[in-house]
Amino acid sequence: MTRGGLRYPWSEPPAFGEPIEVAEGVHWLRLPLPMALDHVNAFVLDDGDGWTVVDPGIDTPACRAALQSALDGPLAAKPVTRVLVTHYHPDHIGLAGFLQERGAELWTTQTSWLFARMLTLDEHPVPVSQTVEFWRLAGMEPGLLARRAVERPFNFVDCVHPLPLGYRRIKEGDEVTAGGRRWRVRIGHGHAPEHAVLWSLDDHLILGGDQLLPSISANLGVYATEPMADPVEDWLESCRAFQPFAREEQLVLPGHKLPFTGLPLRLRQMIENHQGALDRLRARLAEAPRTAAECFPALFKRPIGDAEYGLALVEAVAHLNHLLHRGEVTREIGEGGAWIWRLA
């Protein structure tokens, strides 16, 4: 199947919890997510005397059941001895601790482990004041802001299994052996800090996580934890850094959607996607100064409802911050208490 210039060797994913082999010693395991993006891809690598599971999903009953079904069925012949996590987001690290408790060793980047470990220990019944103020400054609709200020926010502890103390660090340039192959670790940023991408040195496979997705754009968000961050610049730099290593024949095994080939084109598309968003944002601000929330029509092709509002808001701030760091916009607090952004 070919779509958008990319080729998809499989037109349909495997059923939840039923892995299929996509290369010798490499199995694609799809797991369910309780959100609009209703799945995550895990990959299971045959290490001879055990399995390495890459990105084992979120800790919900449905996802755990699908993973357990695979462990009790097609993967039952040997134990999971290693869990490798590309980045700290809960749909990728959520069941890592579950596998660690059963004897697996966790391999991930230092930043991913620190973030995940910190966030599982940082539970809040309502949003902290800094988060509420960040939402206000971004221009969150007042009624929604009032509701969210008193609701339980997203907490890692709600969907990430406790992480036992201890892990093995992977970093830029490391060589990892798994699935009968040597893999080079290359690090990307933007969607998540210190996101590991594994490039096979022995054939054309790439474990891409969320850094290399085929048909959707990874969320680039700014949060109250680092309100002046510029993840858009981090993302663009990472895409450009990967370009010298990209080949047409490489099979990318992504964190979501379908495996694909055509990585050189996809890297160009990912760069152009955000350059286009920035152009539309400049045009919207040329019409009138705006809050971040008022920039949604420039960045998104659909109406933004309550369910996706939070991710849309942090992505809007990310793109505005990028223009701010480039000196293209200024901001000031308006009468309503939100940042008003205008072209410089």
Domains along the chain with CATH numbers: 2-126+155-284 (3.60.15.10)
pLDDT tens digits for range 59-104 = 999 999 999 999 999 999 999 999 999 999 999 999 999 999 999 9
Buried b / exposed e over 172-186, threshold 16 CB at 10 Å, is: eebebebbbbebbbb
| 1 pLDDT higher than 90 | no
Residue-level pLDDT at 136: 97
pLDDT tens digits for range 27-41 = 999 999 999 999 999
Residue-level pLDDT at 122: 95
pLDDT tens digits for range 104-142 = 999 999 999 999 999 999 999 999 999 999 999 999 999
Residue-level pLDDT at 4: 85
Residue-level pLDDT at 314: 98
Residue 32: what residue type?
P
Question: Which residues, 6+ apart, have CB-to-CB distance to 286 below 8 Å?
Answer: 343
Percent of the chain with pLDDT over 70: 100
| 301 pLDDT higher than 90 | no
pLDDT tens digits for range 308-344 = 999 999 999 999 999 999 999 999 999 889 999 999 9
- Mean pLDDT over the full length of the chain: 97
Gap between the Cα atoms of 17 and 62, Å rounded: 10
| 11 pLDDT higher than 90 | yes
* Residue ranges in 73-211 assigned as alpha helix (H): 90-93, 96-100, 110-120, 129-138, 142-148
pLDDT tens digits for range 236-254 = 999 999 999 999 999 999 9
Model's pTM, two decimal places?
A: 0.96
pLDDT tens digits for range 207-226 = 999 999 999 999 999 999 99
